[in-house]
Structure 1
Amino acid sequence: MDRVHEMEVLVAIADVGSFAAAGRRLHISPPAVTRAVASLEARLGVRLLNRTTRSLSMTEAGVRFLETARSVLAGIEAAEKEALGEMAAPQGRLTVTTSFTFGRTALAPIVSEFLGAHPQVSLSVLLIDRTVNLVEEGIDVAVRIGPLSDSSLIARRVGQVRRLLVASPKYLDRRGWPQNPSDLKLHSIIAFTGLVANRKWGYLDRGGVAYQSFEPRLEINDAATAIAAATAGDGITVALSYMVAEQLRSGALVPVLEPVTPPPVPVHLVHPHNRLVAPKVRAFIDFAAPKLSRRLQELAVDPLGETPGAEAPG
């Protein structure tokens, strides 16, 4: 077994106090933690940990070895940083992904500014309306909207957005305002599949979230087209608040069923977990995070159609 890995496991156990927590920290299973400790103790010929079902502590040999392990790991990290030129100017090709609409609305100008500030970096921007596996698809950074399900990613929160039901005033004058979620079955629904792939809308109900199903009159995989159809008076659509900020401000669209609008969802910049983050990745996140935060504030419209003040999103 990798000796460096065994040292990392021992240090993690010492830092967090349990095999299970060490596994979560290192993104490995509890049995893998146990195997690493057993392999290390067998190779050294000494017991490093006293462990029972209720307690965990270092032996004297474990304390001595732990100090050496920390020093070795620090030396390896320092060598890697020197080899990578951590303090050098960011360089190389960086791949970033987000959705089509967010890329056009919020990310595009930031990408242009970043390239101007970092002449040795080239960028590949992938606009994809699906969640991609960053490691498998060789992507350095992604913008994720919504709760994060992948605990192996490092995330920096940059803001929040709301999922709204919107329609044009002329449509509502013609068809009437829905008074409760079940009324959606009586209306023409324009479904952007990126947000309502299951043909359901989540709404607040007695402190929790309930779902109303519907049969779309128009179903489409492009948010801009769905919003254009709603603006033209063809029906009600679901959109994230940043997508329709301008239409809400101008009155071309208005929110419906706002009392049961779900709470905001977070927006994060994420990248794969690596012991050493490449300078180009660190530079992009440090550059883009505050700018995306400001851009999301500019595009923030609450369910009542009012623009918030200077307070940063959550």
Structure 2
Amino acid sequence: MTSKNASKDLTSSQPVQPTSRVRSRVTLAQIELMQQVARMHNITAAGREIGISGSLAARQIAALERALGVRLFQRTTRSIRLTEAGERVLEWASQTLEGFTALEDSMTTMTQTPRGMIRLAVNYYAAGTYLPRVLSEFCATYPEIKLSVITTDELIDLVTDTIDVAVHSGRIPDSSMVGIRVRSVHRVLCASPEYLRRKGTPKNLSDLNAHDCLVHSSNEPTNWFFRHGDNTVGITVRSRLEANNHNVLVEFARYGLGIARLGRNTVREDLKSGRLIQLLPDYACVYPSGELPNVWILYPNRKLLYRTRVLVDFLSEKLSALTEYPPGE
């Protein structure tokens, strides 16, 4: 195939269909690498993601461009983006990889031995506390499944970020996702003894207006809601410090910087030791709807690969069994 003919094929209205000569020179590894580069906009980072060096990744992309006879990426000193031809090839590449993954999964199901890579997104608290124990058991049970774990407190776009499964704590997820609710999360208002000596102890919700509050920057940063009996009440809080990580908010509270709303399990030992003091225990920390936050297992759609379905079922069973400590403990 000459460069001229290749360009003609790529600008037609039909999907890209490489000739037999090109097929013999294009590998699945190159196609996967191209998809990663298009997603990450960085050849070195994409190579690292699939386990090769940046220089080898650059050579593989160049080899793929030679095989197809077109330039796939427009490169500058600061960015890399798909060319028009690259966009057409990426569409074909994505379909090719999806087909191969489906075939691989079908073969795996026949042998009853799940294998392959799963990209798992988890929040910081889960990653630093209970999840390592759960995943250790999973990896021992399914040694041929490899996990790539991404930590974030944000509810990310599973499709755009090519995430297979997410463990998320917070609001009910977007309706476009498939979610399994594992359990509810009970939060408490708390502050350090040092802060309360300095600022006083709030006796009711209105007293919070005069206090420094430690807020999650993407989760109710200005208004907090509480349920008392059948009533839900919202108040505007004065943010002293904000962070996008609940573990950071715990440290802020421990060092006397203000009042925080934190998961009861997260601060259980702090409350037990007196390092933090629970405030206004008769008020449940809720969302504007009056609902408690929940722990969710999320995935992009109901058509799961065998290995992903194995992980979802395992997480659902193990996380549902985790203890939620009662208020009195």
TM-score normalised by the chain length of structure 2: 0.61
Structure 2 CA distance for partners of 1:125 and 1:142, relative to 1, 3 Å:
same
Which one of 297, 300, 303 corresponds to residue 325 of structure 2? 300
Q: Distance in 2 between matches of 1:138 and 1:121?
A: 17
Once the 2 structures are TM-superposed, how far is the Cα of residue 168 of structure 1 from its aligned partner?
Answer: 1.7
Specify the SS of the correspondent of 2:285.
Answer: coil
Q: Which residue of 2 aligns with 1:203?
A: 226
Which one of 238, 246, 264 corresponds to residue 215 of structure 1? 238
> Quick check: 1:145–1:268 contact (8 Å CA) kept in 2?
yes
| Structure 2: gaps of 5 or more residues | 1-101, 287-291
Q: Distance in 2 between matches of 1:167 and 1:153?
A: 36
Specify the SS of the correspondent of 1:129.
Answer: coil
Which amino acid in the other structure matches residue 120 of structure 1? E
Q: Distance in 1 between matches of 2:301 and 2:313?
A: 16
> Quick check: 1:93–1:124 contact (8 Å CA) kept in 2?
yes
Q: Which residue of 2 aligns with 1:107?
A: 131
> Quick check: 1:242–1:301 contact (8 Å CA) kept in 2?
no
> Quick check: 1:195–1:238 contact (8 Å CA) kept in 2?
no
Q: Map residues 1-314 of structure 1 onto 2, 5 A cutoff.
A: 83-87=106-110, 88-197=112-221, 199-204=222-227, 207-262=230-285, 264-275=292-303, 277-295=304-322, 297=323, 300-302=325-327, 306-307=328-329
Q: Distance in 1 between matches of 2:298 and 2:109?
A: 20
> Quick check: 1:195–1:239 contact (8 Å CA) kept in 2?
no
Specify the SS of the correspondent of 1:259.
Answer: coil
Specify the SS of the correspondent of 1:124.
Answer: strand
Q: Distance in 2 between matches of 1:247 and 1:293?
A: 24
Once the 2 structures are TM-superposed, how far is the Cα of residue 187 of structure 1 from its aligned partner?
Answer: 1.3
TM-score normalised by the chain length of structure 1: 0.63
Specify the SS of the correspondent of 1:110.
Answer: helix
Which amino acid in the other structure matches residue 97 of structure 1? A
Q: Distance in 2 between matches of 1:207 and 1:115?
A: 44
> Quick check: 2:211–2:238 contact (8 Å CA) kept in 1?
no
Counting matched residue pairs gives: 222
Q: Distance in 2 between matches of 1:98 and 1:301?
A: 24
Q: Distance in 2 between matches of 1:92 and 1:119?
A: 10
Once the 2 structures are TM-superposed, how far is the Cα of residue 123 of structure 1 from its aligned partner?
Answer: 0.5
Q: Distance in 2 between matches of 1:287 and 1:220?
A: 32
CA distances 1:57-102 after superposition (whole Å, capped 9, x unpaired): xxxxxxxxxxxxxxxxxxxxxx989935425211110011121122
Q: Which residue of 2 aligns with 1:27?
A: none
Specify the SS of the correspondent of 1:243.
Answer: coil
Specify the SS of the correspondent of 1:155.
Answer: strand
Structure 2 CA distance for partners of 1:215 and 1:140, relative to 1, 3 Å:
same
Which amino acid in the other structure matches residue 296 of structure 2? H
Which amino acid in the other structure matches residue 244 of structure 2? N
Which amino acid in the other structure matches residue 255 of structure 1? Q
| Percent of paired sites with the same residue | 30
How much is the aligned-residue C-alpha RMSD, in angstroms?
2.5
Structure 2 CA distance for partners of 1:206 and 1:109, relative to 1, 3 Å:
closer
Q: Distance in 2 between matches of 1:147 and 1:191?
A: 16
Q: Distance in 1 between matches of 2:227 and 2:176?
A: 30
- With CA pairs under 8 Å and 6+ residues apart, which has the higher RCO, 1 or 2? 1
Q: Distance in 2 between matches of 1:129 and 1:266?
A: 13
Q: Distance in 2 between matches of 1:294 and 1:281?
A: 20
Structure 2 CA distance for partners of 1:288 and 1:83, relative to 1, 3 Å:
closer
